Amino acid sequence: MNKRREDLPIPDLDPRPITLKEYSAHTPEKLELLSGYLIDPPGRSQARRSLLALLLVNAGLLEAVKLAPEDRWREALDGVYGSTAV
């Protein structure tokens, strides 16, 4: 199952409930640990990304950013969107 990024639910700053349709579309049948990775190995991460999107919707981005130090978030944002320094 190959889901495009646009198909994933978009998390908001605050938590929100997910719908049954979102749950059915993005939750794996079972959780497995494969070589230290949940669900699938690193090269096949779509199922893990789908589950992460659901969890971020349920938790909200404000809670998610508390999980790592600010410098890690800035490094990740720069890696995806380019340098934000002016």
Domain count, the chain: 1
Assigned domain for 69 exists: yes
Question: pLDDT tens digits for 8-29?
Answer: 999 999 999 999 999 999 999 9
Domain-embedded: residue 1: no
Binning pLDDT at 50, 70 and 90, where does residue 4 land? very low
Instruction: State the SS3 of the chain.
Output: CCCCHHHCCCCCCCCCCCCHHHHHHHCCCCCCEECCEECCCCCCCHHHHHHHHHHHHHHCHHHHHHHCCHHHHHHHHHHHHCCCCC
pTM of the predicted model as reported, rounded to 2 decimal places:
0.82
What is the tens place of the pLDDT at every residue in 51-61? Answer: 999 999 999 99
Residue 39's domain spans which residues? 7-81
